[in-house]
Structure 1
Amino acid sequence: MPFFAASSGLSGVGQSGPDSFGPDSFGADSSEGHACDPPASLSFGVSLYEQLFRFHSAVMLLVDAETGCLIEGNPAASVFYGYPDGALCGMSINDIGTLRPEEQARRLAELREGRLTCFTSRHRLASGEVRDVEVHSVPVRLFERTLLYTIIHDITDRVRAEEALRRSEQHPEMVMDGAGIGSFSWHALTDEVGCDTRWGDVLGLGRVECAPMMASWRSLVHPDDLPGLERARQRHLSGVTPRYEAEYRVQGADGAWRWIQETGRVVERGGDGLPLRVAGIVRDVSIRRRAEEDRRRLFNLSPDLMCVGGMDGYFRELNPAWQEVLGWSKEELLDRPWVALVHPDDRAATMQGLDTLRERGVITNVENRYLCRDGTWRWISWNSAFVFEQGLIYGVGRDVTALRRMVEELRTSEARLRAMAATVPGVVLQWREAPGDRRFTYVSPRSHEILGLPPERLLQDWRALPVHPADRTVWELSLRDAVERRGDWMFEGRLVLPGGEMRWWRGEARPVDAGQSGAADLCEEPGIVYCGIITDTTEHREAQERLRQLATTDGLTGLANRRRFLEALEHEVQRHRRYGTPLALISIDVDRFKLVNDTWGHAVGDEVLRALAAICRAEVRDVDTVGRIGGEEFAVLLPDTAPEEALAVAERLRAGVESAPLLTAAGPLSVTLSLGVAASPPCGGADTLLREADRALYRAKAAGRNRVERASKPSGDLSGGLSGASGTGDDADTLLTIP
């Protein structure tokens, strides 16, 4: 808790305790009486002290004199040290001081005992900056503890000013020695030279005595540079220039040439105005000259267009790249304003960029077209800087014609891709597979139409693909398998659109090989990139289903046709053999159906067959299969059905048809059925089961029709049975026979 938050709570309380100001705090004797009320006095003291502590602009701290812990810091301290208000509480003086802990402990002892009240130190701010401070600290008794009431003044600026003054008062010789500058005095009439010992170091000759005559000095200068040096001196000696300055090469003791800068002026003239004495300095500028030579080499060798231009619109300097890129010679370019080379359509923007350059001093990535000598135009991207003091523009231009052409081709290619993606009958997509990460990198706009989601939704989260919950596990396994194989991916399943509609879809994709043309950029990141397409196969599936229905369904009755029925029978026989489940088969024939056709016509006969089919479907289970085997011949396959149950189903079918006249266009017609039932186990196969049911049907016909007969022999027995059962004279009845 902050110090004053605790102490201010004692105002107006007529008691003392560990959180109150004791007598030692104010230097009063507790045994003496007080004219004023102690609680009121205490309240006034705490309040006044709190006001001074909190609102004083000086940095104030309360420090535990034993441990060095910061008990409290005023807001000015928080601002100075850069910590949030209240953060100083609980910190140690070691956190802000730069003394070693043992040195800090000795200083605390001196402060605690009153032997030290004022000193200078260095404190570290929250930012890490170290400041010079002057510390005033006195011990006080508060809450039965000895605290150091400390006021801190920042004297960093004063310390730095004193240091700067101290350095400025040093002997000029030290400054010149540190700067590597040598001085000389030349008597023009006698040609005598007087100089300090540093000139030997500057000239590369070591610290030796100065050459007594200027002629000796001249012999050290490179022959190519001596005329320039003499010309600069003579122009000054004759009064043309206020001083002279020249740079020349001097050969040192090691035989190497170094560049020297010499600056001098006449400091004494005779009565006739002729110069008597010249004073000057020399310094080694070899490093600068080498840097300038390096810059010159870069200037000349750079493939970029480099130039220096004036605000008058003319070039001052150009590098050879101008001729290589644009074809113009340096002389041709220096003789014409540079704006004359800018494409007319780009001049307004170029001049606007020039205004920006004047205001800001720098412009970058400004592009315009420049005229080539052969009449063509090339795009140049400029980075330029304006130096106001010189009135010069320094520019670097890069030929970006090929880049802009590539960008334009890319833009055209992307537009072509978008057009193709918009017309392809599917969703074109691309995604990246990496360990623990899968994300779409491109989804074509048709996703909104086909998937019911905008591309942005899928780009944010690949799991948003609306795969049917029942298919999602298999879908994810198919993706994982493709990635592990680094092979093609294909999946077909269902989608649930946001509105609840279910659609069938097919996804196909293949990994992109880094060696494929144009695929290098796609494969730079880790993982595998897949490109593919999602198509809506609902109509195709429905068409397939219709074809399957046509191939397996009887067109008249809607029942399974002969082919479909035999396939279902074979499947159930195999299941019976594997698991031993019971299986039954009912063979059905309409009695004297030929008479119906002959009497009422085939249209009425078709109505009768459709009505019988409806009765059969209504009387059996969904797992049972009812099929039309021939003209008026039907069969019912009953999986998992015992013989007695099959007989009951057959009897129910017979009774239902007999008791319910069939409604036709010719009026109600009554027909009857003859039914044969065969059941397993055991079962010798589908043909055997059909043969047994057929024989039972023969017996039903022979016994007078409109009845149910069960196969008399086990279905596995292929010998025996009725023969010539059709010899009853019912030539209109044809029975189901499997050769």
Structure 2
Amino acid sequence: MSDLFTNFMHTPGFQATLAKAGFFIKDYSNSVAQPNQYWNEAGYTPSDLIDDAWIEFLHPEDKGRVSRLWAKVLSGQQDFFEAEYRIRDPMGHWHWMQNRGFVISRTAENKVAIYLGVDNEITNLKEELYNLNLTMQDMEQRYLQSETLRVAGTLVSSVLEVDKTVKMILEQAHQVVPFDTSAVCRYTDGRLDIIGGLGWEDLEKIKADICPPEGETPHFRVIQEQVPMILEDLGERYGDMINKNTKEFPAWLGVPLIFQRNMLGILEFRSRTPGFFQNDQIWPAMAFADNVAVALANARIYSDTKQEAHTDSLTGLFTRRFLFARGKDFFPRRNFQSSFISLIMMDIDHFKRVNDTFGHHAGDVVLKEVAALCRNTLRKSDVCCRYGGEEIAVLLPETDKKTALFIANRIRGLLEKHKFPELTIQVTSSFGVSSTEDHPSETLEELLEEADKALYLAKEKGRNRVETITGPYKLLQETP
């Protein structure tokens, strides 16, 4: 084997081939070095290699770490060296290198005599990993935005008290749009009234400072122009608005609260850092503003309809009368909005058996808990009503067919797992889904008719399932 290696060593071009492959050798005893191709192309000399001058060419962020590893080799603590680092060529360009090497022999004093190593340039790989990391960060940020918006939408549907809803939405918004303070002001008859906020020591004390009277203020400019607005320093442009309560929060972002073309108020964020808010924060801020606007609109609607007895006394859901009243408001929206409207009809399976076996009180409990389950699953903007008996209808504005099917199947799965303390049987429900995506319905009645047909189909096929008249959405038949 030694003869074979000796022959290879004396083969013409063998050393040059090793150099091209990245191999290099240092003979410290004789102060001789055989550099590799990377070293030669970089413009450095063999003496730079043998004198360990290469350490001085390392990136400042890598130099300390690599120096400590190389010191262990020189001191005899270890014979193997491995590191990744950035090294500068004579032109000032940085290259990522992966270096591995072994001590072949040492002197009697345990100093390195001969060292064999190999370099591999990984600049392109590092750039690809960097770009991949940026992509992953962007995806994580988008997921965070999507998830916080989903949670915010759920909060809007689960809490009727507008002040509590606003506070919880702002807490979710803080994960996506960092701020030091925030506030929501409701706009009514030319006046702003604060209804919630986050980050202020005493919100009641500074209400007038946050929601100024009508005039030349950023709040009313946002309301009049109905577009978001960013101010790097509130005091530079609106000095009259700055006082001891608000001066420590100069950066300002204001977003209008609009629902069904109605101006409901303004959502504002503030920061202690001037110029903190940037344009890329406007979209997520507007998304949360939409949830706040829905909360404000539905709080008003809920208050009005409650006074008019538009809620079912047993379940707390809206009544059939209210469904038709609200339906008239939603359907004209399709004339100027491209989004779809969907509808879910659900009917509790074998409900008569529950009443006959366990009594009407048990039946009432089932209706109440099914209604609560629906409310907690739906958005505040969705209209969920007791359509009649054990039948529930859900009007889903700005919702396509696929999403409506998912929502229906989610309710179905949750109900299937739900335990009713007073019952020894499982309670399930059948669902029919219709959408303007499939049927360009011009009236709520047409959409209800299609959903009712689908519900009948679900009953025929064995109950506890979701159907449309165009066929079941099989991917959603599993419990989410």
When the two structures are superposed, what TM-score results if normalisation uses the length of structure 1?
0.24
Greater strand fraction, Structure 1 or Structure 2: 1
Greater helix fraction, Structure 1 or Structure 2: 2
Higher normalized contact order (CA 8 Å, seq sep 6+, divided by chain length): 2
Rg bigger for which structure? 1
When the two structures are superposed, what TM-score results if normalisation uses the length of structure 2?
0.36
